[in-house]
Amino acid sequence: MEEKKYDKKLDVTLYEDETRFQNQKIKVKISSYDGQTPELQINREIFDDYKNYYKWTKLGRMNLEESKSVIEMLKKSLDNFDKKEE
């Protein structure tokens, strides 16, 4: 069976939310690839002062403020998950 190559045009973002903390932001996103079942993604981006843009990094550990923010974003995203799957 031939494996399909990733096509960015088929990757659809259904919902996205982010919270900023100092030089970083945490994102919660629901995406669907090629009409398949939507999936949830959580990531952290850190601002690189030298290159002047945000770069992706693993989420890793979170402090209390970040954790509370992610929980709120997850609650909102789950409401949107249900709406997209109907």
Would you state the pLDDT for residue 82?
60
Mean pLDDT of 13-20: 94
Residue 3, in any domain of the structure: no
- In the structure, what pLDDT confidence band is assigned to residue 86 with cuts at 50, 70 and 90? very low
Over the range 1-17, which residues count as b (16 or more CB within 10 Å of their CB) and which as e? eeeeeeeeeeeeebbeb
- In the structure, what pLDDT confidence band is assigned to residue 6 with cuts at 50, 70 and 90? confident
Residue 1, in any domain of the structure: no
Over the range 39-51, which residues count as b (16 or more CB within 10 Å of their CB) and which as e? eeeeebbeeeeee
Residue 53, in any domain of the structure: yes
- Whole-structure pTM value: 0.78
- Give residue-wise pLDDT tens across range 18-77: 999 999 999 999 999 998 999 999 999 999 989 999 999 999 999 999 999 999 999 999
Largest CA distance in the chain: 47
- Structural domains counted in the chain: 1
Give the residue numbers spanning the domain of 27: 8-85
Question: Is the confidence at residue 85, as pLDDT, over 50?
Answer: no
